[in-house]
């Protein structure tokens, strides 16, 4: 990731975290007020709610866009982390005389589905991907992986003779995938004719249908892998907090 991309990511992430903390805190305070429980007594509960909401949002995004595993070992531990969060939340609820299913139904689940929380995450990642596709790192990643037989189980017949055209086509295909997922956030955006756009890219670079089908599959795999990588960078902070705070009995 280039320096400008890192700075943009930090700036966007800082603003998002501030907004997320404010929104979750406000909703939690309103939930507790109904039960005459002050925030001074429920600070740990509020923190655990935020961790659970983070986990649920991450899982939702990953499943919706069908992202591959970037940290398989960490993902194996995620279920244990989630169970630990649930146990800690249940314990806090018991101490405050709050029903666990009430906090899940009225606070946690609605927050995890709140567009004001997950949309900024997506928009931030989309902005980063938009810049990344024109970077040197993107070119190096594509050129290194585009012809790995063990990865793709096939070969691009004319890639050796037309490497630059194939690379530019991958950039366009990557951008098309980005435009498709990004359009899901914009209710007023016009629908994208995916098949028509594919054919336009194929004709622009004069790539034979068989090779173009293989290239499209590669571009989509690149997109999902890079998307997953940036999402994991954001989410790893949550995992680290769970490991050091939620899993510790002395929180």
On average, the pLDDT of the chain sits at 88
What is the rounded average pLDDT of the residues 50-72?
A: 87
Q: How many CB atoms lie within 10 A of CB 190?
A: 7
Is 0.85 surpassed by the pTM of this model? no
pLDDT of 14 above 60: no
Contacts of 31 (CB under 8 A, 6+ apart): 103, 106, 107
Q: Tokens 């994991």 appear where?
A: 232
pLDDT of 247 above 90: no
Q: At 190, is the pLDDT very low, low, confident or very high (cuts 50, 70, 90)?
A: low
What is the rounded average pLDDT of the residues 121-150?
A: 93
**What's the CA gap between 77 and 181, in Å, rounded?**
28
Res 188: pLDDT:
52
What is the rounded average pLDDT of the residues 212-229?
A: 95
Residue in 2, 20, 3 with CA at minimum distance from that of residue 234: 20
DSSP percent split of the chain into helix, strand, coil, nearest 5: 75, 0, 25
pLDDT of 184 above 60: yes
Q: At 144, is the pLDDT very low, low, confident or very high (cuts 50, 70, 90)?
A: very high
**What's the CA gap between 201 and 170, in Å, rounded?**
9
- For the chain, what are the domain ranges? 3-120+231-246, 122-229
Tokens of 224: 């999902």
Percent of the chain exceeding pLDDT 70 equals 90
Res 1: pLDDT:
46
Res 199: pLDDT:
97
Which has more confidence, 93 or 245? 93
Which has more confidence, 11 or 108? 108
Q: At 106, is the pLDDT very low, low, confident or very high (cuts 50, 70, 90)?
A: very high
What is the rounded average pLDDT of the residues 167-193?
A: 85
pLDDT tens digits, 37-51: 998 899 999 999 999
């Amino acid at each position: 990731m280039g320096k400008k991309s890192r700075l943009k990511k930090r700036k966007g992430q800082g603003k998002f975290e501030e907004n997320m903390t404010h929104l979750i805190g406000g909703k939690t305070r309103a939930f507790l007020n109904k039960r005459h429980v002050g925030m001074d007594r429920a600070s740990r509960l509020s923190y655990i709610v935020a961790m659970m909401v983070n986990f649920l949002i991450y899982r939702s995004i990953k499943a919706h866009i069908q992202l591959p595993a970037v940290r398989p070992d960490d993902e194996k531990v995620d279920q244990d982390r989630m169970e630990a969060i649930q146990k800690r939340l249940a314990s806090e609820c018991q101490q405050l005389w709050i029903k666990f299913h009430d906090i899940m139904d009225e606070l946690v689940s609605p927050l995890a589905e709140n567009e004001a929380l997950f949309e900024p995450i997506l928009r931030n990642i989309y902005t980063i991907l938009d810049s990344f596709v024109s970077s040197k790192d993107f070119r190096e990643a594509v050129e290194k992986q585009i012809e790995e037989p063990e990865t793709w189980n096939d070969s691009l017949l004319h890639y050796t003779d037309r490497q630059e055209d194939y690379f530019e086509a991958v950039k366009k295909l990557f951008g098309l995938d980005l435009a498709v997922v990004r359009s899901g956030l914009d209710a007023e955006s016009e629908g994208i004719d995916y098949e028509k756009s594919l054919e336009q890219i194929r004709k622009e670079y004069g790539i034979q249908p068989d090779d173009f089908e293989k290239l499209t599959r590669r571009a989509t795999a690149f997109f999902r892998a890079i998307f997953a990588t940036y999402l994991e960078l954001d989410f790893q902070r949550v995992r680290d907090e769970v490991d050091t705070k939620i899993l510790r009995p002395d929180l």
